[in-house]
Amino acid sequence: MPFTLQSKTALITGAGRGIGRAIAEKLAAAGASVLINDLDAVPAAEACQAVRASGARAEVLAGDITRPDFPQKLVDRTIAVFGGLDIIVNNAGYTWDNVIQKTSDEQFQAMLDIHITAPFRVLRAASTFIRETAKREMAEGRRNMRKVVNITSIAGTEGNPGQVGYSSGKAGVIGLTRTLAKEWGRYHVNVNCVGFGLIETRLIQPLTGAAANIEVQGRQIAVGVQPKVLESVKSMCPLGRAGTPDEAAGAVLFFCSPLSDYVTGEVLICSGGLHF
């Protein structure tokens, strides 16, 4: 590997399953210590144990990232446990789909809360540490690059019928990313986005009978895709398949690594060439 993340600390939201867990495992394999967050305590603990079993350092703080007070607790816990914060990956998210005339205010707001408001609060919570630490490092003649990676989607870059809330939230995080890239460049922080296409997670599982549900804040939200629709989308992809969580995590690893030290404010699409 042409780089190492030894001595780096990473905070990853939504890291109990799927892409988030793959990101945690990849960063840990590169040498980083990781703080794993997920809404669900059991998968968060399992992901933490898996990272520890590989020989890396990991801690866990389960909880709802959309609660106004939780992002600050998450940032504070990371710094308290590991003594610093070098990488933030805002990955937590889910889909709650419908066409606009069937989308309630609650449904639309829920998508904004998880995909744009929560990342904003995490980054605001981290801002004091990042600014003060960078100023101290610069006064000592050191330049330590820190990394922020926000997760977007081709639904956010191009729109997707039936996903008015999800697409709006994922588009919003691109604006957040590009603004923070300009605000935080002076503090030696690279702020970038990775936009995913069709990745094999529980959100795109084939619907073979009754709809599968995930529970979020007491709501039962149907997820999954009709098999015919899923196959149709795969056929539109130049690579002819969905991506794996490990492949998705690879794109994030690039932005967390020294290989991207002169890249900021960018959106890297990881979709196998798929465009809606």
Residue 89's nearest CA partner among 156, 164, 151 is: 151
The rounded percent of the chain whose pLDDT value lies above 70 is: 97
Among the four given CATH numbers 3.30.360.10, 2.30.30.90, 3.40.50.720, 3.40.50.300, the one describing domain 9-201+244-270: 3.40.50.720
Buried b (16+ CB within 10 A) or exposed e, 82-105: beebbbbbbbbbbbbbeeeeebee
End-to-end CA distance of the chain: 34
Does residue 240 surpass a pLDDT of 60?
yes
Give the span between the Cα atoms of 1 and 257, in whole angstroms. 11
Q: What is the pLDDT of residue 151?
A: 98
Catalytic residue from among 94, 166, 187, 262: 166
How many helices and strands in the chain, by DSSP H and E?
9, 9
Q: What is the mean pLDDT of residues 228-245?
A: 89
Residue 103 structure tokens: 């989308």
Min mean pLDDT across 5-14, 33-42, 217-226 is at 217-226
Mean pLDDT of the chain: 94
Residue 166 falls in the annotated catalytic set:
yes
Q: What is the pLDDT of residue 250?
A: 98
Does residue 205 surpass a pLDDT of 90?
no
Give the span between the Cα atoms of 3 and 204, in whole angstroms. 33
Does residue 229 surpass a pLDDT of 80?
no
Backbone torsion region of residue 118, taken as left when φ is above 0, otherwise alpha when ψ lies between -120 and 50, otherwise beta: alpha
Q: Encode pLDDT of 106-141 as tens digits.
A: 999 999 999 999 999 999 999 999 999 999 999 999
Residue type, 13: T
**pTM of the predicted model, to two decimals?**
0.95
Q: How confident is the model at residue 221 (pLDDT cuts 50, 70, 90)?
A: confident
Kindly tell me the burial class for residue 163, based on how many C-beta atoms sit within 10 Å of its own C-beta (0-12, 13-18, 19 or more). Answer: buried
The tally of CA atoms less than 13 A away on the side-chain side of residue 27 is 37
